[in-house]
Amino acid sequence: MQIIEIKRADKLDYKESEAYKTLRTNVQFSGENMKVIALTSCTPNEGKTSVSFNLARSLSEIDKKVLYIDADMRKSVVVGRYRLMHADYGLSHYLSGQRQFEEVLAGTNIPNLYVIIAGPVPPNPAELLEGKRFSDMMNQAKGRFDYIIIDTPPLGSVIDSVIVAKQCDGIAMVISSDEISYKFAQRVKAQLEVAGCRIIGVILNKVDMRQAAGYGNKYYGKYYSKYYGKYYGSYYGQDYYGKEEE
């Protein structure tokens, strides 16, 4: 097994940390069989990778053994963004038959968090993901980890995420607030449904809470301020999580 050092993990403020804890809780309450989860988006730059990685890290913080798989072999940003040191072999090495599962699996300096990086860009990512080696890898991983979080390419661009989702218990869509049209999101959702993928939810990312506060405060602002303000301080008027771009 490789040992990878994560040199640059996201520094989450209080509200960002609480947002991921909420997401983590929602995953836990999705059912005891919801252990292998893929995440996709409609387009690049919606923050899918940040959400995927931080969800995996959040699950590892509650003593769950978590595997994060970077299945975006076409345009991975994980190694550069998080400065993964000593990452020699990845998913494309395994799927192409060059390496075995134990050789591409990597422990990290974050307790309980394991990763499989994407590896070099192959000429045929979709065909590799459809092959028997990917399903074999998933069968091995399911028996060893409490949760498996898979970062997949944007479904609005390529079909890879549908292929991956067939090996998963569910898939979630990461949608960037005010950047993706309702009709486009519905088309991407329809692609997953046609393929028989179980959609477990949508994660709204890059929400500007200064705009959200205008609606929320109108009806609930005084109520929450009265009952929760003394415990948590000001909530509205702050930027939310999802600042990193993919």
* Range picked from 24-33, 43-52, 73-82, 146-155 for highest mean pLDDT: 146-155
Quick one: CA torsion of 113, 245, 165, 42, rounded to 10 degrees? 170
What is the pTM (predicted TM-score) of this model?
0.83
Query: What are the tokens at 125?
Result: 């990512």
The pLDDT mean for the chain works out to 84
Q: pLDDT-based confidence at 213, cuts 50/70/90?
A: low
CA torsion angle 117 121 126 128 (round to 10)? -70
> Given this model, what pLDDT does residue 10 score?
81
Domains of the chain: 2-208 (3.40.50.300)
Q: Which residue has the higher pLDDT, 242 or 144?
A: 144
What pLDDT score does 182 carry?
A: 87
Looking at per-residue pLDDT, the higher value among 202 and 9 belongs to 202
Q: Locate the DSSP E strands across the chain.
A: 2-6, 36-41, 66-70, 84-85, 106-108, 113-116, 147-151, 170-176, 199-205
Per-residue CA distances from 44 to 1, 30, 40, 196, 230 (Å): 31, 27, 10, 23, 39
Q: Which helix (H) or strand (E) element contains residue 93?
A: helix 91-95
Neighbours of 86 (CB within 10 A): 9
What is the per-residue pLDDT for 101?
Answer: 96
Q: What proportion of the chain, given as a percentage, has pLDDT over 70? A: 84
Q: CB of 6 within 8 A of CB of 82? A: yes
pLDDT at 47: 85
Confidence at residue 239, expressed as pLDDT on a 0 to 100 scale:
37
Q: Which amino acid is at 36?
A: V
Q: Is it the case that residue 234 has pLDDT exceeding 50?
A: no
Residue-level pLDDT at 206: 77
Range with lowest mean pLDDT among 90-94, 140-144, 233-237: 233-237
DSSP E strands in 177-217: the ranges are 199-205
Structure confidence by residue, pLDDT tens digits, 173-207: 999 888 878 898 899 999 999 888 999 999 988 77
Q: According to the model, what pLDDT value does residue 235 have?
A: 34
Task: Using the predicted structure, report yes or no on whether residue 106 has a pLDDT greater than 50.
Answer: yes
Token pair, residue 78, equals 């994980």
- Say how far apart CA 246 and CA 239 lie, in whole Å: 18
pLDDT in tens, 31-70: 889 999 999 999 888 889 999 999 999 999 999 999 999 9
Residue 204 main-chain phi, psi, to 5 deg: -85, 120
Instruction: Give the range among 64-78, 85-99, 143-157, 217-231 with minimum mean pLDDT.
Output: 217-231
pLDDT of 85 reads: 87
Cα angle 90-145-134, degrees, rounded to a multiple of 5: 40
User: Which token pair is 8?
Assistant: 């640059």
- Confidence class for position 210, pLDDT limits 50, 70, 90: low
Q: Is the pLDDT of residue 208 over 50?
A: yes
70 alpha-carbon distance from chain centroid? 9
Q: Are strands 66-70 and 113-116 parallel, antiparallel or unpaired?
A: parallel
Asked if residues 16 and 24 have their Cβ atoms less than 8 Å apart, the reply is no
Bridge partner list, 85: 5
